[in-house]
Structure 1
Amino acid sequence: MINGITITFIGPGVMAEAMLSGILKKGLTKPQNIQISGPLVDRNEELQKKYNVRSFTNNCEAAAEADVVVLSVKPQRLEKVLQEMKGHVNPNALVLSIVAGASIAKITRNLGHDVIVRAMPNTPAQIGEGITVWTASPSVSEKQMEFAKTILGAFGQEIYEEEEDFLDKATALSGTGPAYVYLFMEAMVDAGVHMGFSRRTAERLVIETLRGSVDYYDKEAEDTRHLARLRNQVTSPGGTSAEAIYYLEKAGFRTAISRAIWAAYQRSRDLGQDAEVHPPE
């Protein structure tokens, strides 16, 4: 439980709302223990009215007494926000960042604070079905690790990794992953329309096929749920699936996916390195 500690969200965007909503829905703490801070008064008032949380327009004031400070601002605003808040965060507070590409070293340097958890959630967190990979700096206590685990588990599943490099890998695989899935779905729908289905019917067929496939995977016994085995179940020799898979393999489908994910990983690392090489003046 995290009841009794004060959690402040710096940047009340969509993901911050997903997090605070998940925390409150699971009854992990009370609304009066959650604070939000952002420059847009209308957005602050919207969340304050919807969740009965406290709102601020001054980040320093909002963070001053917080036990956990969640950094959920846009990446391009992070350096300015950190410099502004430097010296105003409780030395014993946990800073939990969900800002893509922002390394622990960068946050520590610009904030003057070294009790940091870095996390990479993905968009399904907005409906409580996210998957988050996270890591922590050496200064994070065992109790604060439990706080982080509880908070991140409030809007989906969480996986802890000791090495920070896995955050960039998670950005490429699960963080960006929904984009690959939607592109694949879009291509399937377009194929259905090309064959004569209405777009609405094609979308329904594709969506329910993917939903059912994932559910079927989840319900299989752990020792039989290997993806290749499940694929083989619907691939009869000389059948339609075999023909389709032959063309996908011939077109380099598997290689293209692998290379795309690797490219995203490299880009995530590059963004982080750019931040380290070009610190704010």
Structure 2
Amino acid sequence: MKLAFIGGGNMGEAMLAAILEKGLSTAENVTVSDISEPRRRYLKQKYGITVTGDNRQAAVESDVVVLAIKPQQLAEAMSGLSGRLHAAQLVLSIVAGAGTGTLCRGLGHNRVIRVMPNTPAQIGEGISVWTATAEVSEEQKAQAAAILGAMGRQVYVTDERYLDMATAVSGSGPAYVFLFAEALTSAAVDIGLPDDMARELALETVLGSARFMQGSDRPPAELRRMVTSPGGTTAAALARLEKGQFTELIKQAVRAAYERAKELGN
């Protein structure tokens, strides 16, 4: 499989590294186009791939063109590639907020997959939600599933509206978890724990709890009840959280992210 990456930032590099590690392609069959010369030099040195500053040169002979650029760079990139892609090429976009309609019109090309990955994909622990236009073949869908699966889990949906919803949950979700860990660390310091110990306790608690949930067949609400003794310390903490409308605030935050995702898509 020959691949061209338009953009070699953090998420593009994460995908590149996963593809090479899993043997889905080889360095000789990967080209990355990036506007930054230092970035190109770094990627070439680390992965032994071909690099260029010319998007069209990168895409010309590839089977899959991965759009891994910032949203503000998309219009220029699409303009440069429009009319240059051959009919059988697959375009896989991880550009936030760019719908398949926007991509198809901008590229003059119909074989498009839109993906919403998330930050943990950079360590192979991500989850990517994706959809494809009708013109994408089953073989190309299988290629996309393999690429995204190399970075963690992948979920295919036929209704593109779910991608905006996923953006608000799994796309922005890591930031919610980071904020919770930050707040828990700060609270630990406030009650007297040393900084390094506070951070370790907070991070390991978040990580361990997530793994515990993942390995259990019980829903989170039941797990929460299992560790909450009436009149105990956990009950006191949860009561204070709900007094501050913790659950409602999370709902409002997710709704705000969802509405913003729809705005960006339009």
TM-score range, shorter chain: over 0.9
Q: Is the aligned partner of 1:233 residue 2:226?
A: yes
Report how far residue 246 of structure 1 moved: 1.0
* 8 Å CA contact retained: 2:27, 2:49: yes
- Hey, what's the Cα distance between the residues in 2 that align with 1:169 and 1:219? 25
- Hey, what's the Cα distance between the residues in 2 that align with 1:90 and 1:126? 30
What is the alpha-carbon root mean square deviation over aligned residues?
0.9
Report how far residue 219 of structure 1 moved: 2.7
Q: Is the aligned partner of 1:172 residue 2:168?
A: yes
Number of the residue aligned with 2:100: 104
* 8 Å CA contact retained: 1:11, 1:71: yes
2:13 aligned residue (11, 17, 23): 17
- Which amino acid letter does the alignment assign opposite residue 33 of structure 2? S
Number of the residue aligned with 1:199: 195
Give the TM-score normalised by the residue count of structure 1. Answer: 0.93
Number of the residue aligned with 1:41: 37
- Which amino acid letter does the alignment assign opposite residue 40 of structure 2? N
Percent of pairs with identical residues: 47
> Counterpart of 2:150 in 1: which secondary structure?
helix
* 8 Å CA contact retained: 2:229, 2:235: yes
- Which amino acid letter does the alignment assign opposite residue 255 of structure 2? W
* 8 Å CA contact retained: 2:2, 2:25: no
* 8 Å CA contact retained: 1:122, 1:132: yes
- Hey, what's the Cα distance between the residues in 2 that align with 1:102 and 1:73? 11
Q: Is the aligned partner of 1:51 residue 2:47?
A: yes
Give the TM-score normalised by the residue count of structure 2. Answer: 0.98
Number of the residue aligned with 1:245: 238
**Number of matched pairs:** 266
- Hey, what's the Cα distance between the residues in 1 that align with 2:29 and 2:101? 29
* 8 Å CA contact retained: 1:101, 1:271: yes
Deviates more, 1:94-103 or 1:32-41: 32-41
Number of the residue aligned with 1:276: none
- Hey, what's the Cα distance between the residues in 2 that align with 1:209 and 1:136? 38
Query: CA deviation digits over 1:155-180, x for unaligned, max 9?
Result: 11100011111111111100100110
Deviates more, 1:25-34 or 1:65-74: 25-34
- Which amino acid letter does the alignment assign opposite residue 32 of structure 1? E
Number of the residue aligned with 1:122: 118
- Hey, what's the Cα distance between the residues in 2 that align with 1:131 and 1:181? 15
Q: Which runs of 5+ in 1 are unaligned?
A: 274-281
* 8 Å CA contact retained: 2:82, 2:106: yes
Q: Is the aligned partner of 1:263 residue 2:259?
A: no
Deviates more, 1:207-216 or 1:96-105: 207-216
1:73 aligned residue (44, 57, 69): 69
> Counterpart of 1:96 in 2: which secondary structure?
strand
* 8 Å CA contact retained: 1:65, 1:90: no
- Hey, what's the Cα distance between the residues in 1 that align with 2:114 and 2:104? 11
Query: CA deviation digits over 1:78-104, x for unaligned, max 9?
Result: 011101111111221000000000011
Report how far residue 218 of structure 1 moved: 2.6
- Hey, what's the Cα distance between the residues in 1 that align with 2:53 and 2:240? 56
